[in-house]
Amino acid sequence: TEKIVLDCDPGHDDAIALLLAHGDPRIELLAVTTVVGNQTLDKVTRNALSVATLAGITGVPFAAGADRPLLREIAVAADIHGETGLDGPELPAPAFAAVDTHAVDLIVETVLAHEPGTVTLVPTGGLTNIALAARRAPEIVGRVKRVVLMGGGVAVGNRTPVAEFNIAIDPEAAAIVFEAGWEVVMVGLDLTHQALAGPEVRRAIRAVGTGPARFVDELLDFFAATYRDVQGFDAPPVHDPCAVAHVIDPTIVRALPMPIVVETAGRHTTGMTVADRRGPAPQGCRTHAALELDHTRFWELVVDALRTIGDPA
Ligand SMILES: Nc1ccc([C@@H]2N[C@H](CO)[C@@H](O)[C@H]2O)cc1
Ligand SMILES: [Ca+2]
């Protein structure tokens, strides 16, 4: 199994990423950490604990992290995720609290507690916690197996024409993460805009017939409506589980090596992940970008994970 730490900002698609990580037998969820992004830290943390409660996730520490970006002001995505950050379904009151440890310390402790090269960090929100962890304990950079993040894009933006939200809300943190020296797989919008939850996907999820499946269906009802109204999509792109899917099976989310740097100073381009596709990637290139999704097999992963979760007591 692949041991992961999921660093997230639930967020409709973060919630589905958490369910996929919990339900797929190939993933061992060591810890879940939260970061300001789609909504404020207290909201995304409560949301993560609510999803864990309804999915029956036990024995996994949840820790809250950064409540603001390194330098810039907070910018939430209430237009897409709503005021709670997880608008749509009724959310159960969390059955357990986050641990007292700060997310950055939990990330460091978790990496240092496992064999070198065995823990994968899976950020699906802004990269503030990951950057702080690399600065807090530089020794984790050589010890982490890889960082597989949902964020950025080669030729697509959403926060701006060229910048994706997770990078754009904390570009300085993203620059630290992309430059740290560990292997980074960028699962960006080029890939995640292929992960559309169309009618046949919705039918397959509903057919699972469990509480968590109904929860996901209600999440997607809301997410579909905001994505239609705000971004003009006929079906919503479910971004974050694509990062988890790459860890599960890199033939479902296929990545290519290419140099990637983060713009932090451009008047029009701040937050852009600048990928160099001009030629073959240099030897030892540590950054990769995911470009090709096997849509059918991806959604089979999600539906299978929901089946495995079943109806927790
Ligand atoms: N418009 C919009 C803004 C933010 C997000 C969140 N940021 C990433 C996609 O940009 C995902 O992690 C998702 O949770 C999605 C849509
Ligand atoms: Ca997210």
So what's the pLDDT on residue 285? 98
What residues are neighbours of ligand 2 (ion), with CB under 5 Å?
A: 9, 11, 14, 124-125, 240
Q: Is residue 209 predicted with pLDDT exceeding 80?
A: yes
Q: Mean per-residue pLDDT for 94-118?
A: 98
pLDDT attached to residue 10? 98
pLDDT band at 287 (very low <50, low <70, confident <90, very high): very high
Q: Average pLDDT in the 140-145 region?
A: 98
The reported pTM is 0.99
User: What is the rounded radius of gyration, in angstroms, for the C-alpha atoms of the chain?
Assistant: 18
Asked whether 16 and 240 are in contact (CB, 8 A), the reply is: yes
User: Residue 158: CB within 6 Å of ligand 1?
Assistant: yes
Q: Looking at residue 140, what DSSP letter applies? A: G
By most ligand atoms within 8 Å of CB, the mutation choice from 122, 239, 272, 273 for ligand 1 is: 239
pLDDT of residue 265: 98
Residue nearest to atom 1 of ligand 1 (CA): 80
Q: What is the pLDDT of residue 313?
A: 76
Instruction: Decide whether any atom of ligand 1 lies within 6 Å of the 246 Cβ.
Output: no
> In the 3-class helix/strand/coil scheme, how is 198-250 assigned residue by residue?
CHHHHHHHHCCCCHHHHHHHHHHHHHHHHHHHHHCCCCCECCCHHHHHHHHCC
Per-residue pLDDT, averaged over 128-145, amounts to 98
- Residue 195 banded pLDDT, cuts 50, 70, 90: very high
CA of 204 to the centre of ligand 2 (A): 23
Q: What is the pLDDT at residue 78?
A: 98
Q: What pLDDT is recorded for position 173?
A: 99
